[in-house]
Amino acid sequence: MVDIGKSLNRPPAYPTKFFGCELGAQTQIDLKNERYIVNGAHDGEKLQDILDDFIQKFVLCPACENPETNLHVEAKKEKIGQKCVACGYSGVISLTHRLITFILKNPPGQEENSTPSKKDKKNRRDKKGQNNSQTKMQNGNASPGHESKGSKPVADAPSAQNDNFGDDDWSEDTSEAAVKARELEGLSMRTKGLTMTDDLELTEQERLQLFYTFVENKKKQNDFASKAIVAEAERLEVKDKAVLILAELCFDADMASQISKYAPLFKKFLINNHKAQKHLLGAFEILVGKSFPIKLMVKVPRLLQLLYEKDFVDEEVLLEWAPKVSKKYVSKEISGQIHEKAAPFIKWLREAEEESSEEEEDDDVDVVYATAVEKEKIMAQQKLNESKAEEDDGDIDIDDI
């Protein structure tokens, strides 16, 4: 943000606050350490669009569209003048954007002094106290070397500028009146959709629709970056049901080959998440029973096997799903057909589980049996050794005699 401010000849706080206004997000400005923060998870491309909007409104010359402009603030008259170095244009910014108020309180060139350190504040208080004492002495209120009882140095009152940088978080007001006001100010719908607080106030269905639009755009851009998609699902608090959207947008009649292709993305939502796995089986029923019944219905056993082998769905979730014919995602009749087609795979899964259990039991028996045989051999060897020892002892005794 510091680099952006330098290139645009604007204080970095201006575009930071502009982001905060447009996104309805809190901002944190630490001038001393040059830290400019916009809270929340936001898409990089959207941020670029908002920055372009800032440049159009507060940087480019209205006459020649050259960025070589300077701002001149007249706080008392509540005017912000703009002068172009390139063409000589001089005029007033006549916008009603909330950033105008911030700029009036924080004119260009004064932001460096807006966050004094504790030491600076103490020095100013001490200096102010000395000035007050001198004034009192000159007016005869106090003699040299003597102060009136109870008199204290008066500290500087914090300026509006300091208050704004230090305390004002400029978070977006989400009240009905404020929303209408922002619409009147020309707040674009694309950026309003990014407002975290507003989004979380929507119904789950509306948030799922936002997630659908987000993933759909990613697909069009051929940009299935799993981190960005997971972050958006978490931001909208729809991570469990997000697989319903992903399945609709990622899978079609060629689902068998697409399972491997999109496995890394789906695993971000499905690993150790049985709720999401159950929703995925719901999405599977929709794909097979509604979207592509002719091509996918006959492939149900193979598709379920792929979902199992690629770790989309755990064994226990599949075995729990198998006996439950439900009309939650498709009609009960279609759901019954899908479960009927799935029967061979479920049978194989159960038999594999039973065989696995039997093998484990056999392994235990083998271990016990082997141990018992080994003990018998050891005991027999010990007896043989003892017998030989006794014979040896007898021979020794006779020889000695």
Q: Of 133-137, 141-145, 283-287, 288-292, where does mean pLDDT reach its minimum?
A: 141-145
Over the chain, what is the mean pLDDT?
76
Question: Which of 157 and 40 is assigned the larger pLDDT?
Answer: 40
Q: Please name every residue paired with 30 in a beta bridge, in sequence order, or none if there are none.
A: 35
**What gap in Å lies between CA 25 and CA 15, rounded to an integer?**
13
- Answer whether residue 324 is part of any domain: yes
**What gap in Å lies between CA 272 and CA 270, rounded to an integer?**
6
Is residue 44 very low, low, confident or very high in pLDDT (cuts 50, 70, 90)?
Answer: confident
- Answer whether residue 208 is part of any domain: yes
- pLDDT above 80 for 134: no
What 8-state DSSP symbol labels residue 74?
Answer: E
Distance of CA 48 to the CA centre of its chain: 18
- pLDDT above 70 for 123: no
Predicted confidence (pLDDT) per residue in 228-248, tens digit: 899 999 999 999 999 999 999
- Domain span including residue 218: 189-351
Q: What percent of the chain has pLDDT over 70?
A: 66
Is residue 178 very low, low, confident or very high in pLDDT (cuts 50, 70, 90)?
Answer: low
Question: Which of 355 and 227 is assigned the larger pLDDT?
Answer: 227
- Answer whether residue 193 is part of any domain: yes
Please give the pLDDT value at position 5. Answer: 87
Question: Which of 143 and 341 is assigned the larger pLDDT?
Answer: 341
Within 176-331, strands assigned E span none
Mean pLDDT over 319-337 rounds to 93
> What does each C-alpha distance from 380 to 17, 64, 226, 376, 385 come to in angstroms?
89, 107, 65, 6, 9
- Answer whether residue 34 is part of any domain: no
Residue corresponding to tokens 């271990």: 367
Mean pLDDT over 197-212 rounds to 85
How many domains would you assign to the chain?
1
Supply the DSSP string of 282-294, one letter for each residue: HHHHHIIIIISHH
Identity of the residue numbered 366: D
- Answer whether residue 293 is part of any domain: yes
Residue corresponding to tokens 């769905």: 313
Question: Which of 270 and 400 is assigned the larger pLDDT?
Answer: 270
- Answer whether residue 270 is part of any domain: yes
- Answer whether residue 246 is part of any domain: yes
Please give the pLDDT value at position 388. Answer: 57
| CATH number for 317 | 1.25.40.180
Question: Which of 166 and 326 is assigned the larger pLDDT?
Answer: 326
Please give the pLDDT value at position 29. Answer: 87
Mean pLDDT over 184-207 rounds to 60
Contact 160, 135 (CB under 8 A): no
Question: Which of 170 and 311 is assigned the larger pLDDT?
Answer: 311
Contact 62, 91 (CB under 8 A): yes
- Answer whether residue 322 is part of any domain: yes
> Please, which residues have CB within 8 angstroms of residue 376's CB and are 6 or more apart in sequence?
none
Contact 260, 227 (CB under 8 A): no
> What does each C-alpha distance from 220 to 185, 210, 223, 229 come to in angstroms?
31, 16, 8, 14
What 8-state DSSP symbol labels residue 224?
Answer: -
Q: How many CB atoms lie within 10 A of CB 262?
A: 19
Please give the pLDDT value at position 245. Answer: 95
Supply the DSSP string of 51-72, one letter for each residue: HHHHHHHHTS-TTT--S-EEEE
Pairing of strands 79-84, 90-92: antiparallel
Please give the pLDDT value at position 377. Answer: 56
**What gap in Å lies between CA 168 and CA 163, rounded to an integer?**
7
**What gap in Å lies between CA 371 and CA 59, rounded to an integer?**
86
> Please, which residues have CB within 8 angstroms of residue 213's CB and are 6 or more apart in sequence?
none
What 8-state DSSP symbol labels residue 322?
Answer: T
Identity of the residue numbered 158: P
Please give the pLDDT value at position 173. Answer: 56
Question: Which of 239 and 150 is assigned the larger pLDDT?
Answer: 239
Please give the pLDDT value at position 368. Answer: 41
Predicted confidence (pLDDT) per residue in 281-326, tens digit: 999 999 999 999 999 999 999 999 999 999 999 999 999 999 999 9
Tokens of 211: 């997630």
